[in-house]
Amino acid sequence: MKHTTRLLIAALAMWTVSCIPLTAQEEFTYNGDTGPGYWSDLESDFSACAASPSGHQSPIDIDAVIEDSRLDTLNLLLSEMPFTLINNGHTIMATPKFGGTLRLDGDTYTLAQFHFHTLSEHAVEGNRGAMELHAVFTDANGNNAVIGMLYKIGRPNLFVQQLIAAGLPKLTTSAPVTINRLGLGDAFTDTSRYYTYAGSLTTPPCSENVSWVVLKQWAELSPEQFEAFRTILGNDFRPLQKRNQRVVRATAR
Ligand SMILES: [Zn+2]
């Protein structure tokens, strides 16, 4: 084949690939032309992801908080239960076999799943953690309450070690991993001290139906444990969003 013909075919092949339109299967990513700045363009029902002066998007930098002495220790009911770990292409997510509840502002939320972001998504006074855990709870009306907990590099973390020991699923095609007994309550540091604000899911469709609870006390994990997650997740944190007119309340403790 002549050199010019080969070039032409290669160019045509590239053109064909680049002209494939975005489909419903198009996945959001954390960089490039399907990255956070473009999420709202990927699908019509991702419009909440767009920056807006009245938006209630997450994550945010937690700063200038207002103490509220009415905020009590979190009312959590979490027993040990089996979990299934999967890699969904955006995060490592654990789904419980059965419930677990969080009562917040008179509403009851049921544990749906927990997952991780590296680095952390929330920042506190401009400081990011190495990793963030999100425990997602949902109420009967489809509203969410999410407990966020940031990690810094330090001592080995017993809860995180249980997930690593079970085998973190590396790829979306990896088989799901079952953990027979895991107490999510063991993951949390101090559930009596936290920040809370009204926000959104940090992934498309970025729905603004999340009561965020971010624990004040950061957890620790070892450099090796961080690496185990980081090599699989890469950068899966959404950039900080504008706080706009929102109030962030904090426990008085
Ligand atoms: Zn998350």
CATH number for 85? 3.10.200.10
- 7 is a domain residue: no
Ligand 1: centre distance to CA 214 (Å): 12
Backbone angles phi, psi at 84, to 5 degrees: -110, 125
User: Smallest Cα–Cα separation from 133: which of 251, 217, 67?
Assistant: 217
Q: How far apart are the first and last CA of the chain?
A: 75
Euclidean distance between CA atoms 145 and 201, whole angstroms: 10
pLDDT at 211 over 80: yes
Please list the active-site residues. 90
> What is the largest distance, in Å, between two alpha-carbon atoms of the chain?
78
Ligand 1: centre distance to CA 144 (Å): 12
- 27 is a domain residue: no
- 114 is a domain residue: yes
Euclidean distance between CA atoms 197 and 195, whole angstroms: 7
Share the mean pLDDT of the chain.
92
Amino acid 5: pLDDT = 56
pLDDT at 11 over 90: no
Q: How confident is the model at residue 144 (pLDDT cuts 50, 70, 90)?
A: very high
- 226 is a domain residue: yes
Please report how many Cα atoms fall inside a 13 Å half-sphere around the Cα of residue 106, on the Cβ side: 0
Amino acid 15: pLDDT = 46
pLDDT at 24 over 90: no
Amino acid 52: pLDDT = 92
Name 150's bridge partners: 132
pLDDT at 147 over 70: yes
Amino acid 178: pLDDT = 97
Domain that holds residue 180: 55-250
pLDDT at 154 over 80: yes
pLDDT at 135 over 60: yes
Ligand 1: centre distance to CA 148 (Å): 8
Ligand 1: centre distance to CA 25 (Å): 21
Ligand 1: centre distance to CA 154 (Å): 22
pLDDT at 182 over 50: yes
Q: Which residues are near ligand 1, the ion (C-beta closer than 5 Å)?
A: 134
Amino acid 244: pLDDT = 97
- 35 is a domain residue: no
State the total domains in the chain: 1
Strand-strand pairing, 144-153 and 210-215: parallel
Ligand 1: centre distance to CA 23 (Å): 24
Ligand 1: centre distance to CA 13 (Å): 37
Q: Which residue has the higher pLDDT, 2 or 127?
A: 127
- 202 is a domain residue: yes
Span 232-253, average pLDDT: 96
Q: Note if the bond before 239 is cis, omega within 30 degrees.
A: no
- 36 is a domain residue: no
Determine the residue type at 141.
Answer: N
The whole-model pTM stands at 0.89
Q: Note if the bond before 59 is cis, omega within 30 degrees.
A: yes
